[in-house]
Amino acid sequence: MAMMRNFVLICTLAALSAAEASTSSSSSSSSSSFESAGRICLNGGSSVPSLTSGEHMFCLCAEGFEGRHCEKVKAGQCFEGVGLYYRGTVAKSKSGRTCEEWDSDTRELYLSIDLKSGRHNYCRNLHYKRRPWCFVWKNLQLVWEYCAVPRCSSDSFPDPPPPAPTEPEPGKPPPLLHSLNHPP
């Protein structure tokens, strides 16, 4: 069975190579400066070369990545916002510790959506922290740590508003700080 799959893969690659060779003799117009710099596939992806020309055809992405250059984290492998709806299977903290399994009370109270997935130790964001987290053992104590789950995109959060001006506007008195503590 494995030999058959390998044979099919080789035939597919050969067909793709032949199609590529017949459709364009020069790929310089379609290749970007990014590709010519030698960094074609990111995040551990492998470049698959054409069998006829030896030039890059496509990227075979490592687990958890996708996109033309393996530049995107697959859905479910990343979180958006603060990760309240993250349901991926990452079970490692940022420090590299393995997450502990959620106990049955916690699963019932907070992970009702996850009940069908059974017992697990996947990172979640209960209690509205900044990102998904889990419990880990550290120095013989059970503590929580943020997880090593990447954010789906950098634009998940809007840019923060600019800081308030520190200098008063001309002709306007400075605000009274004590009025913040004592409403009128």
**Structural domains of the chain, ranges and CATH numbers in brackets:** 36-73 (2.10.25.10), 75-153 (2.40.20.10)
Q: What is the pTM of this model?
A: 0.43
Check pLDDT > 70 for residue 70: yes
CA dihedral in degrees (154, 155, 158, 160; nearest 10)? 30
* Residue 27 CB contacts under 8 Å (≥ 6 apart), including other chains: 53, 55
Average pLDDT over residues 83-90: 86
Position of tokens 């634009």? 155
Query: DSSP per residue over 78-114, as a string?
Result: SB-TT-TT------BBTTSPBPPPPPHHHHHHH-GGG
CA dist 125 and 134 (Å) reads: 8
Taking the C-alpha atoms of residue 8 and residue 1, their distance in angstroms, rounded to an integer, is 11
Token pair in block for residue 95: 């420090």
Cα–Cα dist 72/70, whole Å: 6
**The predicted structure's pLDDT at residue 159:** 45
Bridge partners (DSSP) listed for residue 134: 145
Q: Residues 95-146: pLDDT tens digits?
A: 999 999 887 676 566 555 554 556 789 999 887 889 999 999 999 998 999 9
pLDDT in tens, 34-63: 444 456 898 888 999 989 998 988 999 887
pLDDT tens per residue, range 144-153:
999 999 888 7
